[in-house]
Structure 1
């Protein structure tokens, strides 16, 4: 896939198991899902992505592209492969992960649900460049959603099982949806 417009080249660093992920035609992708890593840095996100979580296939959980705080874009999985990034929506979607601490390291504690880290300007600029590129490269791409829009399950809080917390909250309340939607001609789901 060629680089997006502007100063946002895509660095290809595929996960070791990428060839074991199911293949799909490029025109099967009509949805991009925005995530945040909820991890401290890109190196930790890479280590997490390399972990095999599905022994039968020898694959793990990962988005397709990761955008670091400085705007660097790294491709872990090509769009022609189905990555495991959002339950129930993977066959038709690609995932973009923004490096952001989110609720790290106490994701499911009721007392730690705030997501206070802002998304830096360089990271948002790179996201907009990548979205523009994907709209050119993926002919069926029409929709965008946050992970929190699609995975709405609530679970018992780790620090107080009597309380329920969202399993997924990303990209979270600091994500600049108005700016992204104004720049990308994609309809937000649901």
Structure 2
């Protein structure tokens, strides 16, 4: 357990609501987790993010895409997948990482429209405080945890824009330009992975 971490009970007060297919997700030891990946939901609210998470996208396994932890705008923490299970949240990095989703509208509902690529909604102070507390708690619970990245750092693929197929836009831009990286990095003690690493395997 890192000695420099302040007391944190954020996990003790979290709302644990496993996704219906959580037990279908592959298991792993906590010692295999060395990376946290920060996302934003790009949905209007937590309820719609939950619906996206519950959707079964892989009929063979009966699972879908989701993060492990969700932080609502008021700072409440929700656990949808426990870290002992491999959630599908970042292509090529799922087996070694936990995904944290911050509720934020992002580019909703025009994710791939070239005219709507700004991510203007700021993250709330309550969200960032909870995130920092959660990262401290995870450092206690996950002995190998040392790195952190944004989804946009690890998935740099582009797709044709929905409004103009001759233009290309990034598939993933979260957590986006309003995320306070300097503050989070200073508080977390984690090392940010370099941007531009794109993996072709995984989900």
Q: TM-score, normalised by structure 2?
A: 0.90
Q: Which residue of 2 aligns with 1:67?
A: 71
SS of equivalent to 1:174: coil
Q: How does 1:22-61 map to 2 (within 5 A)?
A: 22-61=26-65
Give yes or no for the alignment of 1:120 onto 2:124. yes
Do the aligned residues in 2 keep the contact of 1:4 with 1:10 (CA within 8 Å)? Answer: no
| Runs of 4+ displaced beyond 6 Å | none
Do the aligned residues in 2 keep the contact of 1:8 with 1:73 (CA within 8 Å)? Answer: no
Summarize the Cα distance change of 1:8–1:114 in structure 2 as closer, same or farther, 3 Å threshold: farther
Q: Which residue of 1 aligns with 2:102?
A: 98
Q: Which residue of 2 aligns with 1:131?
A: 135
Shift of the alpha carbon at 1:15?
0.2
Shift of the alpha carbon at 1:157?
0.3
Structure 2 unmatched ranges of 5 or more: 1-6, 195-203
Structure 1 unmatched ranges of 5 or more: none
Aligned-pair RMSD on alpha carbons?
1.3
Q: Which residue of 2 aligns with 1:179?
A: 183
Summarize the Cα distance change of 1:4–1:47 in structure 2 as closer, same or farther, 3 Å threshold: farther
Task: Report how many aligned residue pairs link the two structures.
Answer: 188
Shift of the alpha carbon at 1:179?
0.4
